[in-house]
Amino acid sequence: NAGVTQTPKFQVLKTGQSMTLQCAQDMNHEYMSWYRQDPGMGLRLIHYSVGAGITDQGEVPNGYNVSRSTTEDFPLRLLSAAPSQTSVYFCASSLQVIDPYEQYFGPGTRLTVT
């Protein structure tokens, strides 16, 4: 199993540009989520999905969209990039929706918005 994969690893955007961060998992996990990591703030939940076709907002959803058309994929879209979205983005997946099952994290995407 490849686990959780993310592409790209690095990305530089100009303010106002849009892009999609890709996330895929091959473990047949129901639950997938996106976090952003900023220095001193830990990880903050952006959006999450409890299964194909179902998504919901996390703590910091503004400026981001998600969709979940398949169990495997959970892309994160930046609609109009802003410097405040400069961060490291992590995708995570977990076997079940409820119960505190272990979450598996991808290697991250480092995004810089100029």
Partner 1 sequence: AQSVTQLGSHVSVSEGALVLLRCNYSSSVPPYLFWYVQYPNQGLQLLLKYTSAATLVKGINGFEAEFKKSETSFHLTKPSAHMSDAAEYFCAVSASKAAGNKLTFGGGTRVLVKP
Task: Using the Cα atoms of residue 92, residue 94, residue 97 and residue 102 in order, give the sign of their dihedral.
Answer: negative
Do residues 37 and 90 make contact, with C-beta atoms less than 8 angstroms apart?
yes
Least Å distance, CB 62 to partner 1, is 17
- Closer to partner 1 at the Cβ: 8 or 16? 8
Q: How many CA atoms lie within 13 A of 19 on its CB side?
A: 20
Least Å distance, CB 20 to partner 1, is 19
- Closer to partner 1 at the Cβ: 56 or 80? 56
d(CA 24, CA 32): 9
By CB atoms closer than 10 A (0-12, 13-18, 19+), residue 90 is buried
Least Å distance, CB 11 to partner 1, is 15
**Which residues, 11 to 70, sit near partner 1 by CB under 8 A?**
31, 33, 35, 40-45, 48, 58-59
Do residues 4 and 104 make contact, with C-beta atoms less than 8 angstroms apart?
yes
**Which residues, 70 to 99, sit near partner 1 by CB under 8 A?**
90, 92, 94, 96-99
Binding residues (CB under 8 A) for partner 1: these are 4, 31, 33, 35, 40-45, 48, 58-59, 90, 92, 94, 96-103, 105-108
